[in-house]
Chains A and B, each alone.
Chain A
Amino acid sequence: MAFLEISSVSKSFGAVKVLDDITLEIERGEFVVFVGPSGCGKSTLLRMITGLDSPNSGTVSIEGKVMNDIEPAKRGTAMVFQSYALYPHMSAYDNVSFGLRMAHTAKTLIRQRVDAAAAILRLDKLLHRRPRELSGGQKQRVAIGRAIVREPRVFLFDEPLSNLDAELRVQMRAELIELHRRLDVTMIYVTHDQIEAMTMADRMVVLNAGRMQQVGRPLDLYDDPDNRFVAGFVGSPRMNFLAGEVVGADATSTRLLHAGGTGPLTLPIGGLQGQLKVEIGVRPDHLRILADGEDPPPAAIAFTGRVTFVEELGNVTYVHIVLDDGTPIVVGAGRGPRIGTDDVRITAPVGHALLFAQDGCRLRGRNGTGK
């Protein structure tokens, strides 16, 4: 039995279905990130775990015990809010110790725990300050300190870094990873920022429109997405999608026509008889612009488009291209010769192409050659 189990949880607010039959197991000590666009239900799921919202159906259990009817404060969870939710009329010390004081913990024990948390978070010199006398990063650390002193079984973070500036965000990310390593407890983290999710998570849970899309290690999701949504959401810049039409299929390969292409293309994905319209997904890094006069490698994807603009970022250059049918394409290129706004030819090895059915499902093929 897993440490934390969410089984068949659904939740609606009125007619809006916010969570639709979510089932998920989380192991002790894992760092799990819920990620998805705003309104996907990730925060609601977090609030179900901590008890601020209750599901319409399904259960949440921790260490085998069903939590549905247990008070939020008694679940052994602690939450760090996006707004930090520090009490403005209390010092940092009083903020951190509020929960312990409410539970009538002995004063000396409170002191010990607060001091220990302050040492971990380097808050020692700030404990007498009021929230308005603290910087964004310091407030963040006080909010984490408030969670730490409760010695929870599960830490919950609700977009905790979104109010910080870019530089501080990177720094706090590292601090949180370090904190996780040090405390060795289960942490669940909600964010809409897939980069944050990729860098922090042991496992990522991608949500969209109240449904769980895929669960797995960040790189697995990047390389082997289950559907078009995950493929498009994970990775930056996003994956490119080309409309395609299957013209022939057998047990080991598929022949198709695609936007911007000149002739039929053969992909080593078998068993797709019966499919008609598909989408081909290729990440920008796997695309390459052909030099003038250079021929595409045999049996590779090749197509033509017009350059709209070029983002030169120094270490990498992104070339934005539009195909004849209006499909936008981004190509990641090295630091090469300047590219004008002419037509260019683009190529990618077939091994990196992913196929998606019209409903967004990934077409892996029956022989597993898709990956």
Chain B
Amino acid sequence: MTAKRASATSPTIWTVLKWTVAILAAVIAVFPVWWMINVVFSEPGQPVSINPRLWPTSLTAGLQTVHVIFAETAYLHAYMVSVCYSVLTIAGVLLFGSAAAFEFALFDFPGRRIIFGIVMLALMVPTAVTIIPTYLLTADLGWLNSMQGLVVPGLASAFGLFMLVQFMRAIPADMIEAARLDGASHLQIYWHVVLPLCRNAMVTLAILTFMQTWGNYMWPLLVGTSPDMYTVGQIVGMFNSPLSHQTVEVVMTANLLAAVPPLIFYLLFQRKIVEGIAMSGTKG
């Protein structure tokens, strides 16, 4: 009797607790982003005591700020630079990474194990040790303040190679042999059989690369020092610097604009992003 009552009430306590904690955690996770949006879409200059910015109050004010930022600052140009930087990096990482992964995962040739082993060791080397010499090399090449200086040094992504090799190893050898018997050349097997088979992995890698490039703050800070090479990250950093005299609405709008592309990607590809991260963690 008592046991029965205990089992009837304890689940409800557990359930209430579970929901409370879950919702509270969700509020903490989401609120800063929500607040950023609210600051943008509210009448500027209103004191916190009158408008605590718990929800958006003025759409027009926000659009006005966006307009001002695009019209009066180099934000739009930085957007272009960031988009170029991301798109070129994604294209390069996918192209070079998949071509190399194709060989490492599916074929055997002298030196394969050693070469692949060296690249995998690179996964463990921290960025800290390479960033300054890489910068100096880029400077020597005369690539400072250029798109190639931003993009090229980041193309040999050991992580991307690792992920694609893991994925391609699952392709049965029969499939490759069948294509060979069908008369497909080495390149045709890569292009018509293997690439379509790892479309999922390629999309995931593209998204992860995008998030990483778009969020990369350190490298553009070093390489793109002239205003016409500023990326979104740098512009946002400047809006936020102690020397900037921008109001909070303007700074938050700059922040929000930087967040929009990743947020859109997240809404569209949530499952792919989550799978990609889960895979890199549980297989690595």
Contact = CB atoms under 8 A, between A and B. Distances in A.
Interface in A139-167: 146, 150
Interface stretch (A80-88, A328-336, A345-353): A80-88
A356 B236 CA distance: 90
Interface string A80-101: 0111010111100000001100
Nearest to A80: B178
Contacts of A83: 172, 174
Interface string B160-186: 000000000000101101111111110
A72 interface: yes
Contacts of A89: 196-197, 199
A102 interface: yes
B87 interface: no
A87 B180 contact: no
B149 to A, nearest CB: 38
Interface in A49-75: 50, 52, 71-74
A25 B175 CA distance: 30
A79 interface: yes
Contacts of A146: 178, 182
B188 interface: yes
Interface residues of B, number: 18
Q: What secondary structure prevails in chain B residues at the interface with A?
A: helix
B193 interface: yes
Nearest to B178: A85
B181 A72 contact: yes
Contacts of A90: 196
Contact of B183 (A82, A87, A99): A99
Contact of A81 (B177, B185, B188, B197): B177
Nearest to B189: A102
Nearest to A78: B181
Given A85-B174, A88-B197, A103 B183 contact: yes
A102 B182 contact: yes
A87 B172 CA distance: 10
A1 to B, nearest CB: 25
A50 B182 CA distance: 11
B197 A52 contact: no
B174 A73 contact: no
Nearest to A90: B196
Contacts of A72: 180-181
A74 B197 contact: no
Contact of A102 (B172, B175, B188): B188
A73 B172 contact: no
Contacts of A71: 183
Interface of A: 50, 52, 71-74, 77-79, 81-83, 85, 87-90, 98-99, 102-103, 146, 150
5 contacts: A52-B181, A73-B181, A79-B178, A88-B197, A98-B182
3 A-B pairs with the lowest CB-CB distances in the bound complex, closest first? A99-B182, A73-B183, A85-B174
